[in-house]
Structure 1
Amino acid sequence: MDETRNVISGHVEGNVVQAGHIDVVNFATPVPVALAGLPAEADFADRLDEQAGLAAVLDPAAAGQPSVATITGLPGIGKSALALRAAHGAVDAGWFPGGVLFIDLHGYDPAGGVSVKAALAAMLRALGIERAPATQGERENLYRSRLAEMAGRGRRVLVLADNVSDVAHANALRPGSPLHRMLITSRDDLAVAGARHVDLRLLRDEDAVGMLAQALEAATPGDTRVADEPGEAVRLAQLCTGLPLALRVVTHLLTGRRGHPIGRLVRTVGAAADRIDALSYDESVAVRLAFDTSYRRLPPPLRRLFRLLSQHPGPHLGVGTVAALADVPDNDASRLAEGLRRASLIEPSVVPDCYRFHDLLRLYAGKRCEADEQPADRAAAVNRLLAYYRTTAQAAHTHIDSRIPAERRSWLFAGRGDAVAWLEAERPNLIPVVSLSARCGFDALTNEVALALHPFFELRNHPDEWITIAKLGLAAALRLADPDAEAQHLTALGIAHQELQWYAEGREFHERALAVSRRADDPVGQSRALINLGAVSHQFGEFEDAESLTEQALAIASERVDHYQMTRILNNLGYLAALQHHCDIAESRYRDALVSARELGDPQAEGGVLTNLGEVLQQTGRHADAIECLRQAHDLSAQSGDRLRAGRALHNIALVYQDLGQWEDASACHRRALALRREIADRNGEGKTLTQLGRIHARQGRRAEALACQRQALAAFVQTGATADADEVRGLIAELTA
């Protein structure tokens, strides 16, 4: 017998037989290579920025890009659709000659997802390997080795892993070679090392309507319902809250009812007792199903938190409110909230360190709370939430109300700025929270929170919101038969109406506050009401009445040595004197008010007095002193958070520069004042600053810019009902257009 040599060398692909003696050889059918199994694209909204970001990752010509990108977002946001669009685009561009490996891991399927071992076995079969090794580690090694071989031959591959719920799956399927690329979609914020993170947001109305129109046209060419009913199409997109899955549902509903107008579906969905149930087509295309799968995967503490967060009535949730609802310490609340964020069931708010619900998820969470939480537990969570707002609002009040001495200021805030910042962040929540308290019948709490908020609203110039809060507080105070609180709420309503230049209404509220304070024999309340009535009287040009009322207030405050009231009264008396061109008297009163404000230690009051004093110094030709005085006023007002008076001080500095003919300095100050006044929606102040900017532009021969300023100023004055100012601006416009 000849000697048999059983040696193989070199690179071999396919079946190999090594044996000393062979009778029969059965060759297995070659395992096909499946590298073109990319699913077809679904309905897609053109997320151009996100597409560009993914294209940069996938493009072989782009240097310095990561090899992996994760696409995350809440259920139904369109993660898979974006990934498929990016993958198809890359294949069409010829960027992946080795093909695409696609796998749906079903990570959020209630029946369970694909295990790591099974996923690797599927990927190996797609690569032409019939028998996968037994252990996970061996499968990973073989998978990466085969991909490395393809990289060595220039056969670049894209791996697309859809619905990944665990970072272990992502890491196991990640190619070892940097030549290859990987796209991952997940509802969870997976910690994939070195990955580019693409977080999908809800569609804007116009993009949602475009997606709806595109889908209807694709289903039925010539479908013009979106073009025929543009307003109803926008409303339908809003009912879907920009969620692509919900838009797919309404597209299916409209496609199946070709004769139905969009408006009919809008009325059906809008009137539904459960909008989430209304947004379903069948068991496979339903918003509730997508939300259920994410909710069920949560551990019990996160499920409970998700349910309880729905009890917050406002648009965003801070860590303090999360802690109150869940009845846990702040650190635990932060950790739990981050868990929900990583699961894409809440998302970061535009307010720093806060979270928000997607509207449909809020509805879903509310339904889960009704079904899974006992009524007593829901009520306890609401009680804790409202108690948190009372405690924190009262703590902030101790820093904003200058009548409260330093030793009585709450430790919850580092200082006035910290307290104001918290209230500004919570401002969108304040009306919903106080309204919830009132609906629950908690009169004492409603009254206390409203009282605590008055100094903040006076400081920050939010009169419309202030009126709503004060009315809720007033109703509670009347039910409680609390005359002191009643008078304070009436005063707040009066001042807020004055800020809106509704002086007749303001006077009525101040007269009611005076009557209540007199019945209660409350000298502080009487003095406060007399000051405000004097301020309203001067707005009507009733200077004698204004001075008489203010002098009565001064007599009461002087008897009590009330520096807070005396500062305001002396300041108002100085203002009345200045209006009547009694500059010496005005300056004397302002300087007395300044001494009182400094004794009180109130930077807000001091800044207001200095602003008025600066005007008198300007009128008497002491320009350098006026500028210095007004700069101090601006700095003190900004320091105290009083943006209204900070804007006024900047405006007045600019007026001094105009007197001096320093036009560039004047323009710069007016622009700063304009930005601040627009920021706080001070429309009357905005009109005054625009008028002066227009005058400067006209003087410099810049007619078009001058005309634009005056037209904007006119719109502001018409909106605020400032008739005299509007007439003056009309005259200036006539001069510019003559």
Structure 2
Amino acid sequence: MHGPRGTVRIPPGRQQVILASLLVEANQVVSTEHLVDTLWDDQPPDTARTQVQICVSRLRKSLTDAGVDVPIETRPPGYALRVDPARLDVHSFTRTVAEARVLAKEGRAAEAAGLLRAAVALWRGPCLSGIPHRALRTRALRLDEDRLAATETYLELELGLGRHHHLVGEIARLVQENPLRERLRAQLMLALHRSGRQAEALDVYRAARDLLIDELGLEPGEELRLLETAILAGDPTLHQHATTPERDPGPTAAPAGQRTEVPRQLPADTADFLGDEALIATAEAVLTGEGRAVGVVVIVGRPGVGKSTLATHIGHRVAQEHFPDGQLHCDLRGTRDDPSAAADILGRFLVALGIPGPMIPQGLAERREVYRTLLAGRRVLVVLDDAVAESQVIPLLPGSSTCAVLVTTRTRLTGVPGARQIELDSLDPARSLELLSRVVGTDRVTREPEAAAALVRTVGGLPLALRIIAARLAARPHWSLASMVTRLANERHRLDELAHGEMTIRASLSLTHDGLDPAARRLFGLLSAVEGPTLPGWVAGAVLDDDRPFPSDLLEPLVDVQMLDVASVETTGEFRYRFQDIVRLFAREQVTTPTADAVERVIGGWLAIAEQAHRRIYGGDYTVLHGTAPRWHPPEDYVSAVLADPLEWMDGEQANLRAAITQARTAGLDEACWDLAVTVATLFEARGYLDDWENTHEDALALCRRTGNTRGTAALLSSLGTLHINRGQPAQARTALTAALDLFTTLDEPVGLGLCHRDLALLHRQAGDDDQALTLYTKALHDFDRAGDVVGRAIVRTQSAHILTRRGHMTEAHTHLEEAMAIYRQVGYTSGMAHTLRRLGQVQSQAGDHTSATETMTRVLDMVRSSRDVIGEGHLLTNLGEVCAAAGDVPRAQAYYEEALRVRDQILDHSGAAVIRFELARLLARTGDHTRAVDLLDAAAATFAERGMVRDRAAAERELALLRASNPVTTV
């Protein structure tokens, strides 16, 4: 660090560590506890806080003496170093890379590459290389990865510009420094090939393959393999220069072996959007400013003024350039009877950010802490639509100034800290006329300028009302604008007891509604009774009980007159629709016929498709109970198309399925409610939506108990037992499963009995009571056989094989697994195959066949990665580490353990990460790396103590004592 009076000398040791900690969190408060933990990894002295104060005091004096205007402020609960971000190299680096991203997307490759080279030139070596404390190591590695990612991007840009001759030497040096970096290898191969040095390019591939096999036991990735094939084939496309990079040159690229989820949840933008550019610019300045705090904009306005449309439009304008790490969006349902709770929204956001459901804590405070941890340093935009109170918004505010929040509401939220309140008023006359001209045509507006102006005044500049009226005029080209002014004025007079905004919109809706034919009016009313954020086209057929092959045709007349919006287009080509909230309310008021039958058919439609989805995943109606609720079957072609990937369909319809279960509960449809809930649990378990699992089941359970539906009650209790197992709550799981078992015994329901016996066996297995577990597995096997549930039988075989393996009964375990695998192959249950193959790999490893075990585990690893099962990925990487360690292949074992540790840390699985640290430490102790082994054991023991993992903590402390006794130097 330099000041006006020369270089500032900061003594090595604690002062450097504290200064580094404050700098990496510049302009943010760093707690004293954090500084203590950073300085003393284990057992800080009683004077730790005093020593931190002394170090900070000396730092202040050193900076002041050197004339450096960088104050260290005391801010409870710690300190904050205040500095202009422009003075920090890391800020300059980040800003420059962001500018390069924009240039690259504009096709200005040469300028982008130049900026990236300038950004990389700011570095003088590895980040924080002189400060070895592990608390700072993760942040330093992230920054080093950002530098390397930027380097790879400018190389890619310059290769696209034809500069291959000049890049060969530079890339070769980088490959030597980063030998396992496959992207750099590919760039070197391409540069050599384009320079006419094909033999050398192929040598680079062979050297990479030999290294990867020797070091990790892995073949090169797809990119290197395809590039080698293309070079051998003389593919002419290799000489075509690209002008834009394949990868985003962002500083937020995830380290190798780590995948960062990038949510893109913004709704579609409005193509013909019209808005106040000055207001938009104000909002954008707040959201994208370089301030110390999170930029928060609250858009306030009456119904129909276009708050949500404006928020979405602004979101799309700033997302790509300023918030490349993702955009989170949620409807807070502030104007509904059941507004969304902050804890539920946080749960959904955490899943979107890549945290598996079982890793998400229960409490609001804990979820908020994890949420802020994940967003720290990332550039994410959070859009909260239709908020009703500060209590909804405040817990959803990120803690990092790199993020921003956009809120819409009908009331001022003055309690949101630091929020810029923006009042959204009606469109001014000029923009209103422009919107009217776009819809009805410029000629009609030009022919009747006075009537057009009067029409704009009559609707008060409300975009929603104006669009509805304009759509009505567009559908009636023979109507004059003046006649519409008269009609609207009369309708408004009839409604003059309402508030101005509501009166205007209702008047425009009334005129359009009265102009619809009776069939369209009936459909409009029935559709409004259906809950859910969006409406797939088949719902129109369901509410009318119309089995035509293309029921979405029924909705087009409502879309034409703006009574219904097109929300999106599905991959199948089908449209998805939605109501504006105020339009839905109006539609419900127009209903003159009962809607109960229509609602029941829609819920029956969801049930029919969900049932088919479960069958396609499991290969049949296996390990699930169904009720007697009537199904309504959407068109077969539609169902076949959307269920090409059944789990993806369920994921995409998650909100609608959740709403259908809630509506079934409200309507008292107990059979449909419990059946749909337990069927959709397939999605909840696979994707980790544990909050949805619990909420839907608790709602359905209350209804079934109220109506005396014993079978539904038992099915829901059994499913809740499985949920509690997923959450690591054995006591709650045992209570639910025991209650379900009693009911199923009374009913003599074999599938239900099998499910309960299976899960109770798993609880006993986890508690170490293998004998009782095997007894229960035998009962479950009998139950599933009685029901003809082959998948249930296979699951029992797979789970019981784990106990047999642990007891050394390898032949019997292998037989169980082979039987299970045959069943899974027959029905096509992929997830079951993955679980069974993993157990088979463990059997092979314990039998000493490490080569086969490695091949099996590697195959399963590919399967769980393709299914986005990050928890399973962590397990498989750990298993591979164990297999390699048992085989004596320490380098490969260490590589797998390190990768498993990255995965666990990424999803904030602290307990799982501690277990891996323990195993990795034992491995490193064998290699003589006692210093790192002690560090890992210290960290593991601390986590075990914090989490109450008594046996694990004792094991870690024993290992530490042995290691320190045999290597006294490690105690220093």
TM-score, length of structure 2 as denominator length: 0.43
Contact 2:540 2:554 in 1 (8 A): yes
Distance verdict in 2 for CA 1:602–1:75, change over 3 Å: closer
Label 1:685 to 1:462 Cα distance change in 2 as closer, same or farther (>3 A). farther
Alignment of 1:482-521 (within 5 A): 482-521=709-748
Residues 571-650 of structure 1 mapped to structure 2, 5 A cutoff: 571-598=798-825, 601-635=828-862, 645=872, 647-650=874-877
Counterpart pick for 2:582 among 353, 358, 364: 364
Match of 1:298, SS state, is helix
Q: Pick from 469, 483, 506 the counterpart of residue 296 of structure 1.
A: 469
- The answer to whether the 8 Å contact 1:398/1:404 transfers is yes
Partner of 1:424: 651
- Give the letter aligned to residue 296 of structure 1: I
**What residue identity is the alignment partner of 2:591?**
Q
SS in 1 for 2:764: helix
| Aligned pair partner of 1:402 in 619, 633, 640 | 619
- Cα offsets for 1:151-174 (capped at 9, x unmatched): xxxxxxxxxxxx9xxxxxxxxxxx
State the 1:495 CA deviation: 1.1
The one-letter amino acid paired with 2:797 is L
Q: Which moved more, 1:680-689 or 1:344-353?
A: 344-353
1:570 to 792, 797, 803: 797
- Determine if the alignment matches structure 1 residue 392 to structure 2 residue 609: yes
1:535 to 745, 762, 774: 762
- The SS at the match of 1:547 is helix
Distance 1:691 1:415 in 2: 45
Q: Any residues of structure 2 matched to 1:35-184 within 5 Å, and which? A: 78-79=276-277, 81-82=279-280
- The alpha-carbon distance between structure 1 residues 553 and 84, as it changes in their structure 2 partners (threshold 3 A), is closer
Tell me which amino acid in the other structure corresponds to 2:587: C
Deviates most, 419-428 or 72-81: 72-81
Amino acid at match of 1:529: C
Q: Which residue of 1 aligns with 2:351?
A: none
In structure 1, what is the equivalent of residue 72 of structure 2?
none
How far apart, in 2, do the equivalents of 1:705 and 1:537 lie? 34
1:468/1:678 CA distance change after superposition, 3 Å: farther
Partners of 2:525 and 2:960 lie apart in 1 by: 58
CA contact (8 A) 1:627 1:653 kept: yes
Question: How many residues are paired up?
Answer: 524
Structure 1 residue 630 displacement after superposition: 2.0
TM-score by length of 1: 0.54
- CA gap of 1:552–1:700, structure 2 versus 1, over 3 A, is same
Superimposed CA distance per residue, residues 132-183 of structure 1 (whole angstroms, 9 cap, x where no aligned partner) = xxxxxxxxxxxxxxxxxxxxxxxxxxxxxxx9xxxxxxxxxxxxxxxxxxxx
* Separation in structure 2 between the aligned mates of residue 324 and residue 561 of structure 1, nearest angstrom: 33
- Cα deviation, residue 579, structure 1: 3.5
Task: Supply the distance in 2 between the matched residues of 1:512 and 1:707 (Cα, whole angstroms).
Answer: 46
Does structure 1 conserve the Cα–Cα contact (< 8 Å) formed by 2:563 and 2:583? no
Return the alpha-carbon distance in structure 1 between the equivalents of residues 916 and 572 of structure 2: 30
Shift of 1:624: 0.7
Alignment of 1:456-471 (within 5 A): 456-471=683-698
Change (3 A) 1:709 1:362: farther
User: 2:941 and 2:677 mapped to 1: Cα distance?
Assistant: 34
What SS does the corresponding residue of 1:297 show, helix, strand or coil? helix
2:879 to 635, 645, 652: 652
Measured in 2, the distance between the counterparts of 1:726 and 1:306 equals 63
Letter in 2 for 1:292: A
Distance in 2 (CA, whole Å) between partners of 1:516 and 1:563 is 23
CA distance in 2, matches of 1:437, 1:288: 39
Shift of 1:279: 7.5
Query: CA 1:684–1:472 in structure 2 vs 1: closer, same or farther (change >3 Å)?
Result: farther
**CA apart distance, 1:528:** 2.8
Whether 2:768 is the aligned partner of 1:550: answer: no
Distance 1:315 1:713 in 2: 47
- Aligned residue for 2:378? none
Indicate how the Cα distance of structure 1 residues 306 and 680 shifts in structure 2: closer, same or farther if over 3 A, else same.
Answer: farther
Question: 1:245 and 1:381, CA in 2 relative to 1: closer, same or farther beyond 3 A?
Answer: same
Give the SS at the match of 2:653: helix
After superposing the two structures, state which structure 1 stretch, 562-571 or 639-648, moved more. 639-648
Residue of structure 1 equivalent to 2:362: none
| Aligned residue in 1 for 2:753 | 526
> What is the distance in 1 between the residues matched to 2:527 and 2:936?
47
The separation in 1 between residues aligned to 2:646 and 2:428, in whole angstroms, is: 49
1:374 is aligned to 591
Distance 1:682 1:413 in 2: 38
Q: 1:383 to 1:281 in 2, by over 3 A?
A: same
Contact 1:648 1:685 in 2 (8 A): no
CA distance in 1, matches of 2:873, 2:730: 23
725-734 or 290-299, which deviates more:
725-734
What's the CA shift for 1:549? Answer: 2.0
**CA apart distance, 1:561:** 6.3
Q: Displacement of 1:511 after TM fit?
A: 1.4
Residue 497 of structure 1: how far off its partner (Å): 0.6
**Shift, 1:686, TM fit:** 6.0
Contact 2:534 2:567 survives alignment (8 Å) = no
Distance in 1 (CA, whole Å) between partners of 2:856 and 2:886 is 16
Question: 1:180 is matched with which residue?
Answer: none
Aligned mates of 2:274, 2:933 — CA distance in 1: 48
* Larger gyration radius, structure 1 or structure 2: 1
Native 8 Å contact 2:552 2:575 kept in 1: no
Distance 1:325 1:524, change over 3 A: closer
Distance in 1 (CA, whole Å) between partners of 2:917 and 2:644 is 30
Say which of 679, 684, 689 aligns to 1:452: 679
From the superposition, tell whether residues 516 and 663 of structure 1 become closer, same or farther in structure 2 (CA, over 3 Å): same
CA contact (8 A) 1:654 1:667 kept: yes
- Percent identity between matched residues is 20
* Contact 1:494/1:509 (8 A) holds in 2: yes
1:468-515, CA deviations, whole angstroms, 9 ceiling, x for partnerless residues?
233333344445555444332222111111111111111122212221
> Distance in 2 between the 1:592 and 1:245 partners?
57
The 8 Å contact of residues 73 and 199 in structure 1, kept in 2 or not, is answered as no
- Paired residue type of 1:398: R
Aligned-pair distance for 1:453? 1.6
- Show the counterpart of 1:22: none
Secondary structure of the 1:413 match is helix
Aligned AA for 2:755? R
Secondary structure of the corresponding residue to residue 471 of structure 2: coil
C-alpha distance in 1 between matches for 2:555 and 2:841? 48
The residue that corresponds to 2:239 in the other structure is: none
Q: 1:370 to 1:493 in 2, by over 3 A?
A: same
> Is the 2:427–2:463 Cα contact (8 Å) retained in structure 1?
no
Taking structure 1 as reference, are residues 560 and 282 closer, same or farther at Cα in structure 2, changes over 3 Å only?
closer
Give distance in 1, aligned partners of 2:888 and 2:703: 55
8 Å Cα contact 1:493/1:506 also seen in 2: yes
Which residue number in structure 2 is paired with residue 438 of structure 1? 665
Alignment partners' CA distance in 1, 2:554 and 2:956: 55
